[in-house]
Amino acid sequence: MLKMQKKQLAKCLTGIQGLDEITGGGLPQGRPTLVCGSAGCGKTLLGVEFLVRGAVQYDEPGVLMTFEETAEEITQNVASLGWNLNQMIANGKLIIDHVYIDPHNIEESGQYDLEGLFIRLGSAIQEIGAKRVVLDTIEVLFAGFNNDSIVRAELRRLFGWLKAQGVTVIITGERGDNTLTRKGLEEYVSDCVIRLEQRTAEELTTRFLQIFKYRGSSHGTNEYPFLIEENGIAVAPITSLGLDHEVSDQQISTGISRLDTMLGGGGYYRGSSILVTGMAGTGKTTLAGYFAKATCDRGERCLYLATEESPQQILRNQRSIGLELSHYVENGLLRFEAVRPTVYGLEMRLVKINSWIKEFQPSVVVIDPMSNLATSASLSQTKYFLLRLIDLFKSQQITVFFTNLLQGGSPLEHTEVGVSSLMDTWIELRTIETNGERNRILYVLKSRGMKHSNQVREFLVTSQGVELVDVYLGQQGFLTGTARVVQQAQEEIVQLSRQQEFERKKRRFEHQQAITQAQIKALETQLAIDQDELDMFSEQEGLSQQVLFENRDKMADLRKADDKD
Amino acid sequence: MTINSLDELNLSEEETWELRLYVAGKSHKSLLAIANLERICKESLDGRYRIEVIDLIEHPQIARKDQIIAVPTLVKKLPLPLKQIIGDLSNEEKVLIGLELKKWG
């Protein structure tokens, strides 16, 4: 039981996937809900699941009063969904009362009422303390008894009585032509009405559920597609196109470091939508494989939806370029689901994908290729479908990676359906043909929210893996492949000879320099020798002068100069 | 109208009507049905009958076991075939036909 904070109305959680979201908390508690639809659209199943979930998930025992099928039939029918009704009965969580009305053996004489119904229901409810009741389908009473007015009066009494019991009730009714139900049960059950329908379009059948009425509560009014899966009903509550998701600014690696650099230095934004387009054989699946690997390397889970190749084929192809992914599959980080385009309609696809992500909780989903998801739908249906799908992922911060096959010859920046506007990052892979060979190039067309490279890179896929190489700018534009290699070689040669030329000149200069140095040295030596000679000569001259003067003095002495005596 | 001779009906001496009347407490319809049934049987069966009255309020599980929805319900267990009549049995003709005490016509 869930009490909504804003509303007064108390609601009873059904436990049915998607239904509690659509109804904003479940069915009106303590009140009857009418589930109507044509035969085979799932009314009984919904009722039974309501009781099963109640017993198993919310510890609320329930009573099923069945007017058409027997208890054994119902038990058998739902056994394949993993529900063991006999076990629940044994545990006191469920009572199934099959009401059999034989229209032929009954005569009517005088007044009667349907008190037996009340007595049976009352004792069952009391026996296990039931909180949930399903009546399927009570319209049979009209067939069983001739007196319509008595039946109607008793039904009115019954619903009042049920309210007093405080149980949440589901009543099923067969769809009428102009009315909701053939016998007009909606007259008595006006709190909540759910319509189930099955429609076939282009050979694909889709089931829809609609909250036709829910008094006292806001609810989604659209038709929601639902699936009956291996463990019950799954409704796709796809409506929150409110565009108010939380946005992350964390960037996660693409798996190729050069590409990370091209994308603002870090890779894709977490929770964003990425589109890789290209013609056949350009390497889109390779990019997907690298991204899956990068995700698993971080210990996060990746769900890979393969819509064209089988998972084994994909694994093999990735292996051939050096990318080994099978161990991720083994340890549960990578999960493949093969989705065949013609099995489901778009809505079922949505519900199925929703179930998978609920169960597996991946942080990344790869859809390879996206083009196969919507083969027979119209353009607007496809776009709406993708919008809802992307919305589904973004609301859970799941990063989604789409590959898309371009038909040959279509103009480069035109992706059918204008789908590219739904994508945050768009990478284009192209092949160009020059000189009789095809080479692949990659460039980032757009990547919202980051500075990305506008350069074209050559995309090389070798058996050792993927490399993003700068393209060569030659005379005629950029070159790839062998032309690039040739050009590269040529330029290397030119470079080499320039280098050699430089070396040669350098040696010559050096040689010259050495010679000049030697000459200088010689002159210097000469200068030094001359200087020495000069010094010596000066010294000699000085000495002789000195001797001369000494001799003169001596002579004067000896001659006795006459100035003294 | 009364049936005077049972010979018309080719009865053997041993045949007894086994009748079961399901009621719900002491409601007006229930009491009326009991009264009507007793009267009819006394008038038409001359002692060759056994009436069993089952109060479903006291024995609710019998309602489920015997598949009773309408109340009151009268079940003719013997002689075969099994027949059911629902209502307070105020339409005597219907009751007699139902109990195969009177033929159509």
Distance CA A237, CA A17 (A): 9
Phi and psi at residue B67, to the nearest 5°: 55, 55
Q: Tens digit of pLDDT for each residue in B27-86?
A: 899 999 999 988 888 888 878 888 999 999 999 999 999 999 999 999 988 888 888 899
Q: Who contacts A174 (Cβ-Cβ below 8 Å, separation ≥6)?
A: A36, A37, A38, A39, A137, A139, A181, A182
Q: Which of A110, A114, A115 sits opposite B88 (nearest CB)?
A: A110
For residue B80, tell me if it sits in a domain.
yes
Strands (E), A202-317: 204-214, 223-229, 232-235, 251-252, 268-269, 273-278, 302-306
Q: Do A112 and B56 touch (CB under 8 A)?
A: no
- Tens digit of pLDDT at every position of chain A (565 positions): 555 555 567 899 999 888 888 888 899 999 999 999 888 888 999 999 999 999 999 999 999 999 989 999 999 999 988 899 999 999 999 999 999 987 776 788 888 999 999 999 999 999 999 999 999 988 888 888 888 889 899 999 999 999 999 999 999 998 877 777 777 777 777 789 999 988 887 667 778 899 888 888 877 777 888 888 778 888 876 655 555 667 888 898 998 888 898 888 889 989 899 999 887 777 888 999 999 999 999 999 999 999 888 899 999 988 888 889 999 999 999 999 988 766 667 777 888 888 899 889 999 999 988 877 766 666 667 777 787 888 888 888 899 999 987 655 444 444 454 677 788 899 988 888 777 777 888 888 888 888 888 888 888 887 777 888 887 776 667 777 777 788 788 888 999 999 999 999 999 999 999 999 999 999 999 999 999 999 999 999 999 999 998 988 888 888 776 665 4
For residue B16, tell me if it sits in a domain.
no
Distance CA A185, CA A171 (A): 9
Distance CA A4, CA A234 (A): 23
Our count of domains for chain B comes to 1
Minimal CA separation from A194 to chain B, in Å: 28
**A216: helix, coil or strand?**
coil
Q: Who contacts A348 (Cβ-Cβ below 8 Å, separation ≥6)?
A: A204, A206, A225, A227
Closest CA to A118 of A67, A155, A68: A155
Closest CA to A360 of A325, A329, A386, A391: A329
Phi and psi at residue A283, to the nearest 5°: 110, 20
Q: Could you give the ipTM of this predicted complex?
A: 0.83
Minimal CA separation from A136 to chain B, in Å: 15
* CB A126, CB B61: distance < 8 Å: no
Q: Do A109 and B98 touch (CB under 8 A)?
A: yes
Scanning the structure block, which residue is given the tokens 């919507």?
Answer: A374
Lookup: tokens for A250: 């964390």
A80 CB within 8 Å of a chain B CB: no
For residue B84, tell me if it sits in a domain.
yes
Nearest-CA residue of chain B relative to A99? B67
Number of CB pairs, chain A paired with chain B, less than 8 A apart = 98
Phi and psi at residue A34, to the nearest 5°: -100, 130
* CB A197, CB A208: distance < 8 Å: yes
Scanning the structure block, which residue is given the tokens 């009042």?
Answer: A160
Best residue in B86, B89, B95 to probe A by mutation, most A CBs within 10 Å?
A: B86
**B54: helix, coil or strand?**
strand
* pTM, 2 dp: 0.67
* CB A308, CB A369: distance < 8 Å: yes
B71 CB within 8 Å of a chain A CB: yes
Best residue in A95, A104, A105, A115 to probe B by mutation, most B CBs within 10 Å?
A: A115
Lookup: tokens for A479: 């070159």
Lookup: tokens for A205: 């059948």
Closest CA to B49 of B79, B94, B93, B10: B79
Q: The domain A251-470: what is its CATH number?
A: 3.40.50.300
Q: The domain A2-235: what is its CATH number?
A: 3.40.50.300
Relative orientation angle of helices A71-79 and A43-57, to the nearest 10 degrees: 80
* CB A284, CB A278: distance < 8 Å: yes
Q: Who contacts A204 (Cβ-Cβ below 8 Å, separation ≥6)?
A: A342, A344, A345, A348, A376
Which pLDDT belongs to residue A409?
Answer: 46
**A30: helix, coil or strand?**
coil
* CB A440, CB A428: distance < 8 Å: no
DSSP state of A8: S
* CB B9, CB B101: distance < 8 Å: yes
Q: SS3 breakdown of chain B: % helix, strand, coil, rounded to 5?
A: 30, 25, 45
Lookup: tokens for A275: 């589109």
Q: Do B69 and A113 touch (CB under 8 A)?
A: no
Distance CA A556, CA A227 (A): 149
For residues B9 and A352, the model is more confident at: A352
A143 CB within 8 Å of a chain B CB: no
- Compute the half-sphere exposure of residue A256: CA atoms within 13 Å on the CB side of its CA: 22
Touching B: A residues 82-111, CB under 8 Å:
97, 99-102, 105-111
User: For the purposes of burial, counting CB atoms within 10 Å of the CB of A517, is it exposed (0-12), middle (13-18) or buried (19 or more)?
Assistant: exposed
**Pseudo-torsion of CA A186, A189, A191, A192, nearest 10°?**
-60
Segments forming the whole domain that contains residue B31:
23-98
Identify the CATH number of the domain in which residue B39 sits.
3.40.30.10
Distance CA A72, CA A417 (A): 51
Q: Do B87 and A99 touch (CB under 8 A)?
A: no
Compute the C-alpha angle B101/B103/B105, nearest 5°.
145
